[in-house]
Structure 1
Amino acid sequence: MTLRLYTHPAASQHLTPPGHPEQVARHKAVLEALADLPLDRQDAPLADDAELLRCHPQAYVDRIRAAIPDQGLAMLDGDTHVSPGSLDAALRAVGGACASVDAVLAGQARSAFVAMRPPGHHAERETAMGFCLFGTVAIAAKRALDHHGLDRVAVLDFDVHHGNGTQDLLWAEKRAFFASSHQMPLYPGSGAAGETGLYGQVMNLPLRPGSDGAVARAAWGRILDRMIEWQPQLVIVSAGFDAHADDPLAQLDWQDQDFAAITRAICDAAAHSAAPVVSCLEGGYDLAALGRSARAHVEELMEHAG
């Protein structure tokens, strides 16, 4: 069974100012890195409001829709911009994640990767921030729980920045285990080890600047031991590649092979409970490192899919 890839040209219609790290070229870099792989390529569909409302109130959705400009750019906060194509791109990022959940739970694929932008893991219930508009992976997790009736979903985040939005959206969701490794101190400033969720189902492992792959693998060993005890029926990954040593926005020292090793460990841990794996692109701002790391990640997901 091949890995299913969800993407759409709309990802390149979400524009940001010149010099902004979350740029159109990120999408191109990922797709070029995956171009020769035998993947089941699918268009990411548009999510409707019903999916967004699993995590965000209607007033927030309406506010984002109203903020989209007819031309040019608009700012939602100091580093989060939108253009005329941004809403379509964000809805397809959510739609691709939800379609991935549907596909793996229907047995159409064993693993799936969503190569879309903007990212989503910083978007809180009523706040767009950190380049993110909607809580993509949290929405996908809620679809698995509420639409498909699962009892236990694990959401894992190895982006260098803490997934404050995912944590916010799943803080009181006792059916979802959320775990994150991230540099600290660093934007957005959350993710201390003492932040454990309303039901103790949140696990944060902050890493000091300069932490290398060996430290990362040890941290993920602890996370995955906990996840295996959880016995998830589905694993959803926030796949950010900005912990790479070459990334300009942070100071961790991971290499391409560390993303491969952590992904392999996630897939091995998921296999303990026969859980399929869905992965969604988050950060990664050095284009060459992003492409290489995304490919290493997808190749390991392909092994799981096989």
Structure 2
Amino acid sequence: MKAWLRRLLGKKARTAWISHPIFLQHEPGNGHPEAAGRITAIETELQQQSIWPRLRGVQAEEASDKQLALVHASRYLNFLESMRPQPGKIYRLDDDTVMSHDSLTIARYGAGAVIKAVDRVMAEKSHNAFCAVRPPGHHAQSDKAGGFCLINNVAVGAMHAVAAHRLQRIAIIDFDVHHGNGTEEVFKDDPRILFLNSCENDLYPFPGDIPAGKNPNMVNLPFSPHTGSIEFREQVRRQWLPRLSRFKPELVLLSAGFDAHRDDEIGRLSLHEADYAWLTHKIMQAAGECPGRIISVLEGGYQLDSLAKSTAAHLYVLTGMGKPPCAVEYDAYLKTLKP
């Protein structure tokens, strides 16, 4: 249906679920937390909570060399290609970051998913989008892999929005438990990007490792281990939401990591799935200058049950279904804790 006809009929385009079967083929090795079951667990939970019918499935396409070159140096991409192992083998770029035979191609599809999401929301074919991709991307720097990541999906999407759609104010919000050092490195000198990042302060890759740049729009929220919902929400209210509102973004990209959940052992923060519903709602309110132009991209989250429930809470809000039942119950509980 054409965008003008949707408006005439008072109907909004669905949230796009952008993915591809190829994402299940990245094989970092037995026992690695970044496993294919992450995406299937999310899909199952979305179906059980009746969120799945609110999503419109869209297949990702591979990002081109030209699109990747907006973020990543050609020598780095050539290096990754040269490290491609034989079928059935893996190559360790570091202790955590592993390539299987098709991993680089799969990572290019991850970046391509975000590019497609940008094009769809800018054309009003989709109201907003969630990119169910792997491997994650926010630790990939312009010329260096790390932290499970090869290609910085969100950064490629942001630069595509600048190059293809001439956007000048893009907000990137990273709520993974790990610092989005790759995204910060890419945009540390680019004031067109507002980068709001939260993380646990004593986890890889350790906030502060990236030298300060010229971009004044960098807001990092490092939290101490065991920080819970009340402190997290208070800091977001104070330090993120006013900056986001003043920035008046034309597009919002979310590095959606769900590993700050209390049940995810990869970190030691103590968030609840309801916190992701709350955060999604607050972002949508504060970014009212770009109604609908919110693209969420899967990053971390490795305990399958908490990952699935947190993503479902996030998408419950993003799809316009209101406040999920888990948030109604949990928010009532939080009120009993306040003095």
Does TM-score exceed 0.5, indicating one fold?
A: yes
The 8 Å contact of residues 179 and 223 in structure 1, kept in 2 or not, is answered as yes
Which residue matches 1:104? 121
Tell me by how many angstroms 1:199 deviates: 2.5
Which residue matches 1:121? 138
Q: Determine the C-alpha separation between the residues in 2 that align with 1:85 and 1:11.
A: 10
The 8 Å contact of residues 235 and 275 in structure 1, kept in 2 or not, is answered as no
2:241 to 215, 224, 241: 224
1:8 to 14, 20, 32: 20
Mapping 1:175-194, distance limit 5 Å: 175-191=192-208
Report the AA paired with residue 215 of structure 1.
E
Structure showing greater radius of gyration is 2
Aligned: 1:169 with 2:181: no
The 8 Å contact of residues 196 and 202 in structure 1, kept in 2 or not, is answered as no
Tell me by how many angstroms 1:195 deviates: 7.2
1:235 to 252, 270, 287: 252
Report the AA paired with residue 116 of structure 1.
V
1:53 to 69, 79, 97: 69
Structure 2 residue ranges without an equivalent (≥5): 1-12, 323-339
Which residue matches 2:41? 29
Q: Determine the C-alpha separation between the residues in 2 that align with 1:214 and 1:295.
A: 21
Q: Determine the C-alpha separation between the residues in 2 that align with 1:132 and 1:152.
A: 25
1:81 to 93, 98, 101: 98
Which residue matches 1:277? 294
Mapping 1:54-69, distance limit 5 Å: 54-69=70-85
SS in 1 for 2:82: helix
Tell me by how many angstroms 1:190 deviates: 2.0
Report the AA paired with residue 230 of structure 2.
A
Which residue matches 1:20? 32
SS in 1 for 2:312: helix
The 8 Å contact of residues 213 and 253 in structure 1, kept in 2 or not, is answered as yes
SS in 2 for 1:125: coil
1:44 to 54, 57, 60: 60
Q: Could you report, residue by residue, the CA deviation over 1:133-171 in whole angstroms, capped at 9, with x for unpaired residues? A: 011101111111122101100000000000000000111
The 8 Å contact of residues 169 and 194 in structure 2, kept in 1 or not, is answered as yes
SS in 2 for 1:188: coil
SS in 1 for 2:281: helix
Structure 1 residue ranges without an equivalent (≥5): none
Tell me by how many angstroms 1:197 deviates: 4.1
Residues 74, 195 of structure 1: CA spacing in aligned structure 2 closer, same or farther, 3 A cutoff? closer
Residues 196, 302 of structure 1: CA spacing in aligned structure 2 closer, same or farther, 3 A cutoff? farther
Q: Could you report, residue by residue, the CA deviation over 1:61-103 in whole angstroms, capped at 9, with x for unpaired residues? A: 1111221212211111111001112122211110000100110
1:294 to 306, 311, 321: 311
The 8 Å contact of residues 141 and 186 in structure 2, kept in 1 or not, is answered as yes
Q: Could you report, residue by residue, the CA deviation over 1:189-213 in whole angstroms, capped at 9, with x for unpaired residues? A: 1258x97641311110111111111
Which residue matches 1:91? 108
SS in 2 for 1:101: helix
Comparing 295-304 with 144-153, greater Cα deviation is found at: 295-304
RMSD over aligned CA atoms reads 1.7
Comparing 166-175 with 66-75, greater Cα deviation is found at: 66-75
Q: Determine the C-alpha separation between the residues in 1 that align with 2:260 and 2:300.
A: 9
The 8 Å contact of residues 233 and 275 in structure 1, kept in 2 or not, is answered as no
1:210 to 218, 223, 226: 226
Residues 275, 140 of structure 1: CA spacing in aligned structure 2 closer, same or farther, 3 A cutoff? same
Task: State the aligned residue count.
Answer: 304
TM-score (structure 1 length as normaliser) = 0.96
SS in 1 for 2:160: helix
The 8 Å contact of residues 227 and 269 in structure 1, kept in 2 or not, is answered as yes
Aligned: 1:199 with 2:224: no
Q: Determine the C-alpha separation between the residues in 2 that align with 1:208 and 1:65.
A: 38
The 8 Å contact of residues 228 and 273 in structure 1, kept in 2 or not, is answered as no
Tell me by how many angstroms 1:275 deviates: 5.6
Comparing 282-291 with 265-274, greater Cα deviation is found at: 265-274
Tell me by how many angstroms 1:30 deviates: 1.7
SS in 1 for 2:320: helix
Tell me by how many angstroms 1:237 deviates: 0.2
TM-score (structure 2 length as normaliser) = 0.86
Q: Determine the C-alpha separation between the residues in 1 that align with 2:321 and 2:106.
A: 28
Report the AA paired with residue 58 of structure 2.
Q
Q: Determine the C-alpha separation between the residues in 1 that align with 2:108 and 2:236.
A: 30
The 8 Å contact of residues 73 and 81 in structure 1, kept in 2 or not, is answered as yes
Which residue matches 2:335? none
